[in-house]
Amino acid sequence: MVHEVVKRVEELGPELAALAEENESLGKLSDKTASLMRQIGVMRLLQPSDFGGYQAHPRDFAEAVMGIAKHDPAAGWVSGVVGVHPWELAQMDRRLQQEIWGEDPDVWVASPYMPNGIADPIGDDNFVLSGRWPFSSGADHCQWDFLGAMKGNGSGAPIMPPEVMHVVLPRPDYQIIEGSWEVVGLSGTGSKDVVVDKATIPAYRTVLQSDIAGGVAAARAGRHDTVYKLSFGVMFPLGITSAVIGICEGALATHLQIQKDRVAVTGVQVRDDPYALYAAGQAASEIAASRTQLIDGISRLYDIVESGGEPTTEDKSNQRRNQVRCAWRAVQAVDAIFARSGGGAIRKSSPMQRYWRDAHVGLQHMIHGDGVAYHSNALHMMDLETPPGMLVML
């Protein structure tokens, strides 16, 4: 059954597509785009039902993100990044959930998670935080921000061994730096830097990354639904890779529309060129395989948990390997058709070049780093010991 949010994506998709060029020009999502995304409800798919969310299957989340990205890569990217945050917030203190969603279930929370600051304890139940974080996607339309930080020792230095915290700050406690998002692709995501200067954070607005990764936080928060039992290493990459695959689907659709009536410089209509058609058919298969493999992988892990089981490290390693490969396979397919799209595709007026740039920038995200994912998975397959550093995203 198709989720109602996915249905709304297709209904409102043409309106999203019409705004894509404006978003790129603005360097952030337009207010109209953000309004359409709220109307669609994509950010509430993983939000708990007691705070106005759908508490949906992650497959539905992935399909909605792909659908949005197909029409507007920037909107899809923001959906995939910001849309996973309600999943983590559901596992945190309910006082925080009430603060964020108590009056408006459509409040969005940005990130990034990289530990660029030190959360130093002050008193019994507070931390103080300063630092600067890049890549806060969708920040202009969010009222809170998830930030990664090292847990401090009370003297401004991280404790040893280090512990990574995720802390949540309201908009008045951080500054969005204008002009910090000048990039070659995904410009419309508005993934600007945010700066924090000695903000005081109540302990209930924090969580250890290890508690989220290990499922401790969900149990502590009384969240026993299957979706909240899945690991951070499974859920965090899902939205980002879904966005990349959706971008590639949009690139394919755009390519086919252009080629249908294009006449090459040789005077041959592309529809009569068997080599161009071969490339398009092959690319379509590769992109479809990426979609199928990503959804199949998250569904398999969900089913294991739903039936009372616990995914093994190998299960999660296989999913991580496949998730990375999905993104690379889809982008490589776009490269193949872009190379056969003709000179018109490089013009700034062509959406084809924007899809191509956005797909490659999406591949730059750290969760698409293929080296460690493939290396560690090969060790698992050979029953060899995996270094602890290679288990971080599992």
Of 38, 68, 101, the position where a domain reaches its end is 101
**pLDDT-derived band of residue 61, with 50, 70 and 90 as boundaries?**
very high
Same domain, residue pair 350 and 275: yes
Same domain, residue pair 61 and 127: no
**pLDDT tens sequence across 300-322:** 999 999 999 999 999 999 999 99
Domain CATH for 319: 1.20.140.10
Q: Is residue 53 part of a domain?
A: yes
**pLDDT-derived band of residue 271, with 50, 70 and 90 as boundaries?**
confident
Give mean pLDDT, residues 136-152.
Answer: 97
Q: Is residue 257 part of a domain?
A: yes
Q: Is residue 382 part of a domain?
A: yes
- Predicted pLDDT of residue 264: 74
Give mean pLDDT, residues 360-379.
Answer: 96
Residue 75 vs residue 259, higher pLDDT: 75
Same domain, residue pair 237 and 385: yes
Q: Is residue 225 part of a domain?
A: no
**pLDDT-derived band of residue 269, with 50, 70 and 90 as boundaries?**
confident
pLDDT of residue 35 exceeding 70:
yes
- Predicted pLDDT of residue 26: 98
Same domain, residue pair 342 and 387: yes
Closest CA to 84 of 61, 104, 51: 61
Rounded Cα distance between 340 and 353, Å, is 12
Same domain, residue pair 257 and 113: no
Of 75, 101, 127, the position where a domain reaches its end is 101
Q: Which residues of 167-187 are buried (b: 16+ CB within 10 A; e: fewer)?
A: bbbeeebbebbeebbeeebbb
Closest CA to 138 of 98, 205, 78: 78
Same domain, residue pair 249 and 345: yes
- Predicted pLDDT of residue 265: 67
DSSP secondary structure of 169-221: EEGGGSEEETT----SS-GGG--EEEEEEEEEEEGGGEEEHHHHHTTHHHHHT
Same domain, residue pair 264 and 374: yes
What percentage of the chain has pLDDT greater than the value 70?
99
Count of structural domains within the chain: 3
Same domain, residue pair 264 and 288: yes
* Domain enclosing residue 17, as ranges: 4-101
**pLDDT-derived band of residue 266, with 50, 70 and 90 as boundaries?**
confident
- Predicted pLDDT of residue 334: 98
Same domain, residue pair 176 and 269: no
Q: Is residue 354 part of a domain?
A: yes
Query: Is 317 exposed, middle or buried (CB count within 10 Å of its CB: 0-12, 13-18, 19+)?
Result: buried
Of 101, 121, 149, the position where a domain reaches its end is 101
Structure tokens at 202: 């109540």
**pLDDT tens sequence across 178-223:** 999 999 999 999 999 999 999 999 999 999 999 998 889 999 999 9
Closest CA to 251 of 114, 144, 116, 357: 357
Same domain, residue pair 84 and 133: no
The overall average pLDDT reported for the chain is 95
Instruction: Tell if the pTM clears 0.95, that is, is over it.
Output: yes
Domain CATH for 23: 1.10.540.10
Give mean pLDDT, residues 101-125.
Answer: 95
Same domain, residue pair 234 and 381: yes
**pLDDT tens sequence across 175-188:** 999 999 999 999 99
Same domain, residue pair 385 and 241: yes
